[in-house]
Amino acid sequence: MSARLLFLSLLAAFQLAECVDFYKVLGISRKANQKEIKKAYRQKSLELHPDKNPEEGAAEKFAEVARAYEVLSDEEKKRVYDQRGEEGLKQHEQMQGQGGGFGGGDPFGSMFEHMFNGFGNQRGRGHGEQKTPDVRMPLRLTLQQLYVGVNLEVEYLREVLCVNWEDCTRNSNDCQGPGIKVQRQQLAPGFVQQVQIRDDRCVSRGKMWRDGCRACPNGKTETEKIEVPVEIPAGTRHGEDFAFQGITDEKPGMIAGDLHFVVVETAHSAYSRDGDNLYTTVEIPLVDALTGFKRTLTHLDNKKFVVTVNGVTECDHIMRVPGKGMPRRNGNGYGDLYVKFEVDFPDELTETQKTAIREVLGEDDNDEL
């Protein structure tokens, strides 16, 4: 099958697709990690690829698998899908200017990249002064903390150089850098080969560590606990990165790496979030759905506010409350709150209640279809 035909068949499948459970499509549990999600996708895509599976409906199933992986492999889309389902995800994608599917530009570019480029790219690391690895730490924050903003002191353990570490080194021409030693091997008379080997005693170019040095009885480094001040502004989003340069582990001859705190928004019992907007669900009895009502809600800052509905409320009706969403990071006001009303229908009615309802609402005597 040509790429063009594959494109058209997949596009048609997406347009006709109904709401599906992406976890069931990949055959995994909702607790599956990214490694398990990727493995399941690879197996399913190979099994259902239209070039290898001529069975009727294989292209549609292949499209579902690709869409499921696109969503579940993206932490942000996965979070929205887990909280609000496929329809909520489509709304989220439209708000982000993606319009669903595989985003703008080439609608199948990311899918083919996943399929034929080894599920991601390996980027080369630039050359330059060596530094210890950067560290990324999750910073779990409640929706309340993200709403009002918070200043934190986060404890972090790191390895720091012994104060007298330079006194514990000696000159060595064989050391070409941290952990790198040049060794000469004679291949034959008059022929010598130089090879690089790993030697942790080499602490920098021309310097080798002296084992058992009294100036540093605990070795090159020792553990230090520090408190890192992290300021979280109101309106901070899930996935935002707060970086602190040069405060991770220290090693002789190397620059300390950077510490990154990555915001992880924890689930809230009443509210969920999409961008600057908030979402909540309120259950109302049938009588309120028919006659109107007022409800007092508690916001994330524990302040009370009232929502009022004067008319009839349909099941799953969504009401927009302007300015009751999350603070915008640019300081320009707030997003909106969307309240979904679920009508609690009675399990059964007495004959007296049925008669009263018929008298109020009227009864259609026309039984003909």
Both 8 and 86 in one domain: the answer is yes
In a domain, 298, yes or no: yes
CA gap 45, 34 in Å, rounded: 16
Q: Is 208 helix (H, G, I), strand (E, B) or coil?
A: strand
Q: What is the pLDDT of residue 161?
A: 87
Both 12 and 77 in one domain: the answer is yes
In a domain, 222, yes or no: no
Residue 240 pLDDT class (50, 70, 90 cuts): very high
CA gap 152, 264 in Å, rounded: 15
Phi and psi angles of residue 305, each rounded to the nearest 5 degrees, phi first:
-150, 160
Both 258 and 144 in one domain: the answer is yes
pLDDT at 120 over 60: no
Q: What is the pLDDT of residue 44?
A: 82
In a domain, 227, yes or no: no
Question: Do the bridges between strand 135-141 and strand 259-265 make them parallel or antiparallel, or are there none, so unpaired?
Answer: parallel
In a domain, 127, yes or no: no
Q: What is the pLDDT of residue 270?
A: 95
Q: Which H or E element spans position 81?
A: helix 75-95
pLDDT tens string 281-313: 999 999 899 999 999 999 999 999 999 999 898
Q: Is the dihedral of CA 73, 74, 77, 83 positive or negative?
A: positive
In a domain, 123, yes or no: no
pLDDT at 166 over 50: yes
Both 238 and 327 in one domain: the answer is no
Q: What is the pLDDT of residue 337?
A: 96
Both 92 and 58 in one domain: the answer is yes
In a domain, 278, yes or no: yes
Supply the DSSP string of 3-34, one letter for each residue: HHHHHHHHHHHHHH-----HHHHHT--TT--H
C-alpha of 3 from chain center: 31
Which string of b and e fits 277-290 if b means at least 16 CB within 10 Å? bbbbebebeeebbb
CA gap 26, 20 in Å, rounded: 11
Q: Once rounded to an integer, what is the mean pLDDT over residues 228-241?
A: 95
pLDDT tens string 324-354: 999 998 888 999 999 999 998 888 889 888 8
- This prediction's pTM: 0.58
CATH number at residue 43: 1.10.287.110
Number of domains comprising the chain: 4
CATH number at residue 319: 2.60.260.20
Indicate the residue among 220, 246, 265 that finishes a domain: 265
Both 251 and 139 in one domain: the answer is yes
Neighbour tally for 117: CB within 10 Å: 10
Phi and psi angles of residue 207, each rounded to the nearest 5 degrees, phi first:
-130, 130
Residue 103 pLDDT class (50, 70, 90 cuts): very low
In a domain, 214, yes or no: no
CA gap 147, 233 in Å, rounded: 9
Contact 186, 161 (CB under 8 A): no
Q: What is the pLDDT of residue 54?
A: 74
CA gap 243, 196 in Å, rounded: 34
Q: What is the pLDDT of residue 365?
A: 57
pLDDT tens string 130-153: 889 999 999 999 999 999 999 999
Both 102 and 195 in one domain: the answer is no
Q: What percent of the chain has pLDDT over 90?
A: 35
Which string of b and e fits 98-116 if b means at least 16 CB within 10 Å? eeebbeeeebbebbeebbe
Both 17 and 108 in one domain: the answer is yes
Both 203 and 237 in one domain: the answer is no
Mean pLDDT rounded to a whole number for the chain: 81
Both 252 and 300 in one domain: the answer is no
Both 54 and 38 in one domain: the answer is yes
pLDDT at 50 over 80: no
Instruction: Mean pLDDT check: name the lowest of 166-180, 182-196, 203-217, 335-349.
Output: 182-196
pLDDT at 98 over 50: no
Q: What is the pLDDT of residue 324?
A: 96
In a domain, 219, yes or no: no
Q: What is the pLDDT of residue 367?
A: 56
Residue 363 pLDDT class (50, 70, 90 cuts): low
CA gap 317, 191 in Å, rounded: 84
Range of the domain at 110: 3-116
Residue reference for tokens 């259950």: 283
Both 351 and 330 in one domain: the answer is yes
Indicate the residue among 51, 86, 116 that finishes a domain: 116
